[in-house]
Amino acid sequence: MRILVTGAGGFVGGILAEQLAHEENVELFGAYYNHKPDFDFPFSSFKLDIGNFDDVKSLISEIQPDEVYHLAGVSFISEAIANPIATYKINTSGPLNLLEAIAKKAPKARALIISSSDVYGRVAPSDNPVKESQRAEPHNIYSASKRCAELVTRQFVNNGLHVIIARPFNHTGPGQNERFVAPAFAFQIARIEAGLQAPVVTTGSLDAQRDVCDARDVARAYSLLMRGADKGSVYNVCSGKPVKIKKILDILLSLSTHDSIEHRLDISRSSHGENNIVYGDGSGLYKLAGWEPQIPLEKTLADLLDYCRKVAIEKKTVIDYIDTSS
What tens-digit pLDDT sequence spans the chain (326 residues)? 999 999 999 999 999 999 999 999 999 999 999 888 888 888 999 999 999 999 999 999 999 999 999 999 999 999 999 999 999 999 999 999 999 999 999 999 999 999 999 999 999 999 999 999 999 999 999 999 999 999 999 999 999 999 999 999 999 999 999 999 999 999 999 999 999 999 999 999 999 999 999 999 999 999 999 999 999 999 999 999 999 999 999 999 999 999 899 999 987 766 655 669 999 999 999 999 999 999 999 999 999 999 999 999 887 755 543 333 32
Neighbours of 129 (CB within 10 A): 20
**pLDDT recorded at residue 274:** 64
Per-residue b or e along 277-310, where b marks 16 or more CB atoms closer than 10 Å to that residue's CB: ebbbbbebbeebbebebeeebeebbbbbbebbbe
What pLDDT does residue 323 have? 34
**The CATH classification of domain 2-172+212-237, taken from the options 3.40.50.720, 3.20.20.30, 1.20.210.10, 3.90.650.10:** 3.40.50.720
CA angle 13, 14, 17 (to 5 degrees): 85
SS3 180: coil
Question: Residue 119: which of 293, 7, 278 has the closest Cα?
Answer: 278
Separation CA 222–CA 73 (nearest Å): 16
- Report which DSSP code applies to 125: G
Q: Pairing state of beta strands 209-214 and 242-244? A: antiparallel
Helix (H, G, I), strand (E, B) or coil at 171: strand
- What sign for the dihedral angle of Cα 43, 45, 51, 52? negative
CB distance 286 to 217 below 8 Å: no
- Between strands 162-168 and 110-114, the pairing is parallel
200-203 and 262-265: which strand pairing? parallel
Where along the chain do its domains lie?
2-172+212-237, 181-210+241-276+296-315
Closest CA to 72 of 57, 53, 51, 58: 51
Q: What is the pLDDT of residue 314?
A: 86
CATH fold group of domain 181-210+241-276+296-315: UDP-galactose 4-epimerase; domain 1 (3.90.25)
Q: Work out whether strand 27-32 and strand 44-47 pair parallel, antiparallel, or are unpaired.
A: parallel
Give the integer Cα–Cα distance in Å for 177 and 304.
11
